[in-house]
Amino acid sequence: MNAGSEPRHESIPELDIVSHDVYERGVPFAAYDRFRSEAPVAWVAEGPHNGHHGAGFWSLTRWQDVVDVHKDWRTFSSELGGTEIEEMAPDAIAARRTMLETDPPRHTRLRQLVNPAFSKQTMQRYSAGANRLIDRLLDGVVGAGPFDAVAGLARELPIRMLVDILGVPHDDAPQLFHWADQIVYNADPDYVDEQVGDVSDRADTDPYRLLPFRSPVSLKVFDHFERLAAARRTDPAADVITVLADATVDGVPLSERERGTFLLLLLIAGNETTRHALTQALIALARHPEQFARLRAEPDLIDTAVEEVLRWACPQVHFRRTATAGTQIGEQAIDAGDKVVTWYVAANFDPAQFTDPYTFDVGRTPNRHVTFGGGGPHLCLGQWMARLEARVFLEALVRRVDHVELAGPVERLRSNFINGIKRCPVILHPA
């Protein structure tokens, strides 16, 4: 890997943008800024110093490079090495593969199965329900003193919407979403499975390497989904589980494992990320009261406010691609097989793309953030769902809240993958 060409941009040794510990303390914005200006396509070695165990990777922090790589899926494959930094053997890649780790044309077929359920048009049907739900949630917390915005607000809206779209019985939701947390937050001691410990990229978790995120908890989710799919075969409904229960691709039925990983992808992607976008929206409004006052005075700014919240929050920190052939990124030669990591948060604060990127501006336009990816075939399936949630959330706050106060320390997730907030004490002062 990277044998033919000597890397020109070495990493900046004193800067760490990879370790989970770094992100638990805060997003390393200053380090991203230095990488972007001094080594925008930097070769980052992996090892004990950053908790990863591969051959190293190219690290991209410029907006333009992230967009170019995402659009050129032929050269930068999601399928060859998967989309996580973790180095996986071919059997693990195959066993864990979802549409996220599949290149066209098969990716297109898989995505067509679920596109209708998440389209912009379909989402409009959920708007009234989402409004009612957020109002009910706010009834209990506006003016009621300090509460945890994650548990009390931000976690609930995405889960309840997703349950309806997928077709998960409401009684099953708490268990399923608890498992989803354990699976994806696999580097945070607050969430990891009691019996297994930290299941992130570690050699002693090898027994689980064929399971998503190396987490044995995923087996429980697969079992549960199979029972739900069996029930839908005799009692179909207008939901995604019904669609996937008997889905075929090019005439071949999905295997039980493919169905399981597909639904698990939706379960995780549909709730974890949006939860953090809503929490980060509250934090931004608390720290920039003048922007909240501006939005309250000019509610027509709601569209630009939603996009700015999404740019600012950027809940997905990175994804990975693998080069299928020798190529160039900027002036840097890339070898076939090289791993390339796109740092979305860094790209969203690139001054070459965003004027005054560190200014939170609810009227920002244009705002071509890469929160949902840089474009290309994998652009987020749930972008309209996330936008709807952010919009109803902001609209309700504008209607009912005078100002947001942070009422204690914000606790961050230990993860270089999800830019997440675990607990966020706030007070919502009534309008």
Chain residues binding ligand HEM by CB under 6 A are 70, 78, 83, 99-100, 111, 118, 265-266, 269-270, 273-274, 277, 315-316, 319, 344, 371-373, 378, 380-382, 385-386
Minimum separation from the CB atom of position 314 to ligand HEM (A): 7
Residue 411: CB partners within 8 Å, gap ≥ 6? 421, 422, 423, 424
CA–CA gap between residue 406 and residue 427 (Å, rounded): 6
User: Tokens standing for 163?
Assistant: 């349950």
Measure CA 202 to chain center. Answer: 22
Minimum separation from the CB atom of position 248 to ligand HEM (A): 18
Identity at 50, one-letter amino acid code: N
Minimum separation from the CB atom of position 78 to ligand HEM (A): 6
Minimum separation from the CB atom of position 383 to ligand HEM (A): 7
Minimum separation from the CB atom of position 237 to ligand HEM (A): 18
Minimum separation from the CB atom of position 137 to ligand HEM (A): 18
Minimum separation from the CB atom of position 389 to ligand HEM (A): 7
- Closest to ligand HEM by CB, 99 or 362: 99
Residue 114: CB partners within 8 Å, gap ≥ 6? 240, 243, 244, 266, 381
Q: Which residues pair with 403 in a beta bridge?
A: 429
Count CB-CB contacts under 10 A for residue 426.
Answer: 24
Question: By the 8 A CB rule, do 389 and 153 touch?
Answer: no
User: Tokens standing for 159?
Assistant: 């889960």
Question: By the 8 A CB rule, do 102 and 110 touch?
Answer: yes
- Closest to ligand HEM by CB, 205 or 371: 371
- Closest to ligand HEM by CB, 17 or 163: 163
Helices 383-400 and 256-287 pack at an angle, to 10 degrees, of 30
Minimum separation from the CB atom of position 139 to ligand HEM (A): 24
Minimum separation from the CB atom of position 350 to ligand HEM (A): 16
Minimum separation from the CB atom of position 147 to ligand HEM (A): 22
- Closest to ligand HEM by CB, 394 or 427: 394
- Closest to ligand HEM by CB, 130 or 142: 130
- Closest to ligand HEM by CB, 219 or 265: 265
Question: By the 8 A CB rule, do 29 and 349 touch?
Answer: yes
Is 430 exposed, middle or buried (CB count within 10 Å of its CB: 0-12, 13-18, 19+)? Answer: exposed
Element (H, E) at 429: strand 425-430
- Closest to ligand HEM by CB, 87 or 198: 87
Count CB-CB contacts under 10 A for residue 67.
Answer: 20
Residue whose CB is nearest to ligand HEM in the complex, by number: 382
Query: First-to-last CA distance in the chain?
Result: 59
CA–CA gap between residue 123 and residue 387 (Å, rounded): 10
Q: Which residues pair with 249 in a beta bridge?
A: 252
Ranges assigned E (strand) in 16-125: 41-44, 57-60, 76-77
User: Tokens standing for 293?
Assistant: 């006052």
Q: What does residue 128 show for φ and ψ, rounded to 5 degrees?
A: -65, -45
- Closest to ligand HEM by CB, 73 or 191: 73
- Closest to ligand HEM by CB, 138 or 317: 317
- Closest to ligand HEM by CB, 418 or 427: 418
